[in-house]
Amino acid sequence: MIQIKNLKKIYQTKKQKVQAVDDVSLTINQGEIFGVIGYSGAGKSTFIRLINRLEEPTSGSIEIHEKEITKMSANELRLKRQKIGMIFQHFNLLWSRTVYDNIAFPLEIAGVAKSEIKEKVMELIHLVGLSGKENNYPSQLSGGQKQRVGIARALANDPEVLLCDEATSALDPETTDDILDLLVSINQKLNLTIILITHEMHVIQKICHRVAVMENGKVVEEGDVLDVFVRPQSKTTKRFVQQLNPLEHQQDKLAEFINDRDDSEVIKLHFIGKNTKRALISEIAKKFDVEVNILQGSISPTQEGSYGTLFIELNGANDVLTKTIEYMKQAGVEVEVLKHA
């Protein structure tokens, strides 16, 4: 478990003080993938560099497995950093070294025997899907392959935590998905805690269990990814969620599809988890004397399950519409009436 309490980082410039991280407190559980998302300048990059003290905090505390990082001496910190892996946006590989030698580098620094290094490096090369590339140099690799080397290198000393600093921002969408799939596989195989910062909501949606949203150095929202996606609270979170499903947040555009009738209701439905597979529209069409006009909808997967949004128009007698809406609520679907009959 990682416990972060009242973490602050203030930079002093000639003209002013800049508070990059402002009183952040988080608990990150063992074995979870925890995402931190924010726009440029939100403080997320500074935050992740504070965790392994690449940046020194101004105040606050960071505990990893009940060991307080912020109180460690330089020598204690050097040893502890071997158990905190980190991967970077621009790979940070040694260009004069082969894939094998890049991965072996942290083991050499740690004083591991050559025979053990070879076994470990080949194991990691296989784990990240680079078998046959061990003698290649970074200049001979694609962006995705370079990041796989970075991941293998970060895993060399069997870390307790893996920090990912915008690890997919320099990659194309297809390669991004491949790297995210690899991180999920590593998380599951090694029960490795992963802290991932990004400005892409797709990344959070695809692999994270929980997420914190940062703005101006503060955490403005935190929770399970599924809850945050379905019920975003802060303006910043709503903007990120809108990136994935723009139409859901442009309800005024539904007007052109809606019948100008007095006996209609426009409903927004949220399906969560197993309910995304339920044939609810078919059920109500058979059970109630209503006409159903599907306006738009989508289903999105997350690590914690799928969620779906569906906009429908119901036409029928008022009492029947009331009963239909109540039936949908009892079915475990979140119902929001946007236009009353």
**Mean pLDDT for the stretch of residues 149-176:** 93
**Residue ranges covered by each domain of the chain:** 2-244, 247-339
Q: What is the pLDDT of residues 70-113, one digit of tens each?
A: 999 999 998 898 999 999 988 899 999 999 999 999 999 989 99
Q: Which of 70, 45, 69, 68 shows the shortest CA–CA distance to 59? A: 70
Identify the CATH number of the domain defined by range 2-244: 3.40.50.300
Domains 2-244 and 247-339 share a fold: no
Res 101: pLDDT:
96
**Mean pLDDT for the stretch of residues 197-204:** 92
The whole-chain average pLDDT of the chain stands at 88
247-339: CATH topology is Alpha-Beta Plaits (3.30.70)
Position 155 pLDDT exceeds 90: yes
Res 341: pLDDT:
45
| Interatomic CA distance for residues 207 and 89, integer angstroms | 17
Looking at per-residue confidence, does 258 or 103 come out higher? 103
Looking at per-residue confidence, does 163 or 328 come out higher? 163
Position 137 pLDDT exceeds 50: yes
| Interatomic CA distance for residues 29 and 27, integer angstroms | 6
For the sheet with 84-88, list strands across it. Answer: 84-88, 161-165, 193-198, 33-37, 210-215, 218-224
Q: What is the pLDDT of residues 293-341, one digit of tens each?
A: 888 887 777 777 777 788 888 888 888 998 998 998 888 888 888 765 4
Q: Which of 207, 208, 209, 232 shows the shortest CA–CA distance to 221? A: 232
Position 250 pLDDT exceeds 60: no
Looking at per-residue confidence, does 52 or 14 come out higher? 52
Which of 15-29, 51-65, 82-96, 298-312 has the lowest average pLDDT? 298-312
Res 188: pLDDT:
93
Q: Which of 204, 195, 188 shows the shortest CA–CA distance to 237? A: 204
Q: Which residues contact 230 (CB under 8 A, 6 or more apart)?
A: 270, 272, 307, 334
**Mean pLDDT for the stretch of residues 143-167:** 95
**Mean pLDDT for the stretch of residues 109-121:** 92
10 Å CB burial of residue 304 (0-12, 13-18, 19+) is middle
